[in-house]
């Protein structure tokens, strides 16, 4: 990404092992994230950068100190890399690892880390971050495996952070790929009713496939009125905030009953604060942040492999990596929910 709406496909030297714990992965599929669109729409004073943080692939090469991965392994990469051994990782919060490392940034040795929208990627912390998919991988599984890299795990984090459980009435604010994934997660965790807030027919259809029992098209105060009408005057037990604006957080907070829970995974782009007095007075719990995808993938992977969940339905367009610029444009112009890229 070199500027506003300026995505360039460039030839770069093949990556090489720089440290004994590095691995090189050959990308099988990557994708564009809703969060990639922020810089796309307003690059501001940004610096040219390598894009992509969601990826599945095969191990191409391993450093001398790598024991748990071998050449040919099919792997899923979580969108953030973690050491697997710090206090937060051991507690399952891999996204706030003491050594958390991001695609397109720098590793601990100050070496640049590749972006996932590419062909070959050098990965630090590969052994503690990548999850191996057992057995031969059917091509039909590709989108579902790729979804675990970020959106399915992030939607799951919204539901886990809101402690969604059997019988809960859950509202999902946001109908992007993460919001839709949150619908799937809430449904999977036993919610009796999952109410998707969406005004786009294509997204409503995926929401229904993912288990949404109701759709609310209204926004703001009108959405709360519609919600109360739907629930005979009641409100939801939990709301999953999957946008990241001040308005979406207010909608989530307004959707839950006293004692309710809000799980938030939209990167906060709006107001910088939560009114603690409101939380206190209404006994609302708020939790979330970046999903610990590494910790969630094994559990979700088992259900992808069994066919119990198909989180890859959020991908409604597939393009070759050569058309990566078009992938961004399609998502920016809402012609696609999420675009899968194949090198």
156 binds a copy of itself (CB under 8 A): no
Distance CA 8, CA 10 (A): 6
Distance CA 72, CA 27 (A): 12
287 binds a copy of itself (CB under 8 A): yes
User: Bridge partners of 320?
Assistant: 342
Distance CA 343, CA 328 (A): 15
**Which range of residues in 21-29, 63-71, 262-270, 335-343 is near a copy of itself by CB under 8 A?**
262-270
Q: Which of 26, 202, 285, 326 binds a copy of itself (CB under 8 A)?
A: 285
**Which range of residues in 16-24, 36-44, 45-53, 270-278 is near a copy of itself by CB under 8 A?**
270-278
Contacts of 182 (CB under 8 A, 6+ apart): 154, 155, 156, 158, 159, 172, 174, 240, 242, 263, 265
229 binds a copy of itself (CB under 8 A): no
- CA nearest neighbour of 24 among 127, 107, 97, 104: 127
96 binds a copy of itself (CB under 8 A): yes
- CA nearest neighbour of 316 among 183, 165, 202, 179: 202
Write down the least CB distance from residue 121 to a copy of itself, Å: 25
Contacts of 138 (CB under 8 A, 6+ apart): none
Closest to a copy of itself by CB, 144 or 294:
294
**Which range of residues in 136-144, 174-182, 289-297, 316-324 is near a copy of itself by CB under 8 A?**
289-297
Where are the extended beta strands (E) located within 78-186?
A: 80-81, 101-102, 120-123, 131-133, 169-173
272 binds a copy of itself (CB under 8 A): yes
251 binds a copy of itself (CB under 8 A): no
Instruction: Dig out the tokens for 20 from the structure.
Output: 């004994």
179 binds a copy of itself (CB under 8 A): no
**Which range of residues in 39-47, 260-268, 315-323, 332-340 is near a copy of itself by CB under 8 A?**
260-268
Q: Which of 286, 300, 324, 340 binds a copy of itself (CB under 8 A)?
A: 286
Write down the least CB distance from residue 274 to a copy of itself, Å: 4
91 binds a copy of itself (CB under 8 A): yes
Q: Which residue has the tokens 């259809």?
A: 205
Instruction: Dig out the tokens for 274 from the structure.
Output: 């939560």
Sites of contact with a copy of itself (CB under 8 A)? 87-88, 91-93, 95-97, 161, 163, 234-235, 237, 249, 257-259, 261, 264, 267-268, 271-277, 279-290, 292
């Amino acid at each position: 990404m070199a500027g506003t709406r300026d995505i360039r496909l460039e030839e770069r030297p093949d990556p090489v092992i720089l440290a004994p714990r590095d691995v090189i992965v050959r990308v099988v599929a990557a994708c564009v994230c809703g969060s990639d669109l922020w810089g796309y729409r307003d690059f501001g004073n940004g610096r040219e950068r390598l894009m992509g943080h969601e990826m599945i692939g095969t191990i191409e090469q391993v450093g001398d100190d790598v024991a748990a991965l071998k050449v040919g392994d099919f792997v899923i990469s979580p969108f953030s890399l973690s050491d697997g051994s710090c206090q937060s990782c051991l507690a399952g919060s891999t996204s706030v690892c003491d050594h958390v490392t991001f695609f397109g940034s720098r590793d601990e040795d100050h070496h640049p880390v590749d972006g996932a929208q590419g062909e070959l990627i050098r990965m630090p912390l590969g052994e503690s971050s990548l999850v191996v998919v057992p057995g031969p991988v059917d091509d039909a599984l590709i989108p579902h495996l790729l979804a675990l890299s970020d959106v399915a795990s992030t939607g799951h984090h919204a539901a886990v952070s809101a402690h969604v459980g059997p019988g809960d009435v859950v509202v999902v604010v946001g109908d992007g790929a993460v919001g839709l994934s949150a619908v799937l997660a809430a449904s999977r965790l036993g919610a009796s009713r999952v109410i998707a807030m969406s005004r786009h027919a294509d997204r409503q259809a995926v929401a229904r496939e993912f288990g949404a029992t109701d759709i609310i098209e209204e926004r703001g105060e009108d959405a709360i009125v519609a919600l109360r009408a739907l629930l005979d005057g009641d409100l939801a037990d939990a709301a999953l905030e999957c946008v990241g604006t001040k308005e979406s957080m207010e909608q989530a907070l307004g959707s839950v009953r006293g004692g309710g829970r809000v799980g938030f995974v939209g990167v906060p782009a709006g107001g910088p604060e939560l009114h603690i007095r409101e939380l206190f007075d209404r006994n609302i719990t708020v939790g979330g942040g970046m999903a610990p995808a590494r910790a969630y993938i094994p559990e979700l992977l088992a259900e992808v492999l069994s066919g119990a969940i198909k989180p890859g339905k959020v991908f409604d367009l597939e393009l070759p990596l050569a058309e990566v610029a078009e992938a961004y444009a399609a998502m920016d112009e809402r012609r696609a929910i999420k675009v899968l890229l194949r090198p």
